[in-house]
Amino acid sequence: MFAIALEKKQYKTYCLLDHHYQSRLEVVPERGGMITRWQVKGKELLYLDTERFANSNLTVRGGIPILFPICGNLPEDAYLYNGRRYTLKQHGFARDLPWTVTNQVATDYAAITLTLTSNGETREVYPFDFELEFTYKLKGSDLIIFQRFTNLSGTMEGLPPQVMPFSTGLHPYFWVSDKSKLLFEIPAMQYRDQITQKLHDFTGHFDPNVDEIDGIFGPLTGLAATATDLSRNLRILVGYHSAYSNLVFWTVKGKNYYCLEPWTAPRNALNTGKLLTYLPPGATCEMLVHLNATFF
C-alpha cells in the first residue's frame, strides 16, 4: 500500500506513495529539502512555478519551502548580534541549501527524514551551529511535518556554547483556479497588512481583485485554520504546534496560488526579539505541522 520511489529528474526526487488513497508526496532534498508536489485522490493540491524551480540560482516559488532561521525579511536584510552586523536574506537559507536524506519508512505510512547541519556558509550569516531534522509523513489525506531543532553550539570546533535564537515557518503554496470561491476559518479576528501596516477586520474571505495581499494574523486563539475551495469541493486544514504564534496569508493577483503560512515569529524578530525561540546549548526542541485535504 505504501512505497517510496526515487525518480531522477533534474533533481533527485523522492516520491512517497499511498496507493490505496491515491496520495503522492514529492520531496527534493537538494532544492531546500522542500515538498514540491502533494496529491490526494490523484488531485493536485500545490502550486509550483516550474521555471523558477528549474533555475538553481532562484528561490523556489511553490511547493512547501522551509523558513529558517527567520520568517519574512529584515530591514536592509540585516541584524545585529553581539555588536556585529550580519546579512540574512528573506526567509533565511534553509529553503536554498541541499539537505541530506537520513531515513525512509514505508510500512504503515510513507515517511522520509531530511537533515540540514550548519557549515561555513551558514556561519557567515548566522553564527550558530545547529542541526535541523524534518520528517515528512504521508498517510491517506494527511501530511504530517515533524520538525526537530538542535543547538550544537559548543559541540563543534570554533563556536563556544551560546543560546541560539531563531524563528521558523512553512510556506505552502496551495493551488487555486478561482479565488472568489475561497472561504477561510482562521483563529483571529484581525490581520495586519505587512505592506501598509494597516489593521483589517477579518470576515472569512479576501478580495480576489486586490493586486497583492500579505496579511499576518496573531496572536492566534487556536491551533488550526481551514481553507475551503468551493470550486473544487476541497477543504484544507492547517494544524500547528503551539510554538507557531502567527499565520500569514499571501497571494498575488493573476497567480493560481494562495499561501497560508504558520510562523513562530513575525518579521524582523532577530532584531526585536519578539516571539523568538531561544534554544540553550545542546538543547533540542520539536514542533509539528499537520495538513489534511478533504474533498466533499
Reading the block at residue 56, the C-alpha cell is 538553481
Which of 242, 225, 245 is closest to 285 using CA atoms?
242
Hey, how many other C-beta atoms are within 10 angstroms of the C-beta on 104?
Answer: 13
In the CATH scheme, what is the code of domain 2-295? 2.70.98.10
Q: Residue 281 burial (CB < 10 Å; 0-12/13-18/19+)?
A: middle
Q: Show pLDDT as tens, one digit a residue, over the chain (296 residues).
A: 999 999 988 999 999 999 999 999 999 999 999 999 999 999 999 999 999 999 989 999 999 999 999 999 999 999 999 999 999 999 999 999 999 999 999 999 999 999 999 999 999 999 999 999 999 999 999 999 999 999 998 876 667 899 999 999 999 999 999 999 999 999 999 999 999 999 999 999 999 999 999 999 999 999 999 999 999 999 999 999 999 999 999 999 999 999 999 999 999 999 999 999 999 999 999 999 999 999 99
Which of 177, 170, 126 is closest to 152 using CA atoms?
126
Alpha helices in the chain (DSSP H): 50-54, 120-125, 269-272
Please report which helix (H) or strand (E) contains residue 238, including its range: strand 234-240
The alpha carbon of 101 is separated from its chain's Cα centroid by a whole number of angstroms, namely: 18
Boundaries of every domain in the chain: 2-295
User: What does the alpha-carbon distance between residue 284 and residue 130 come to, in Å, rounded to a whole number?
Assistant: 10
Identify whether the C-beta of residue 15 lies closer than 8 Å to the C-beta of residue 6: yes
3-state SS class at 51: helix
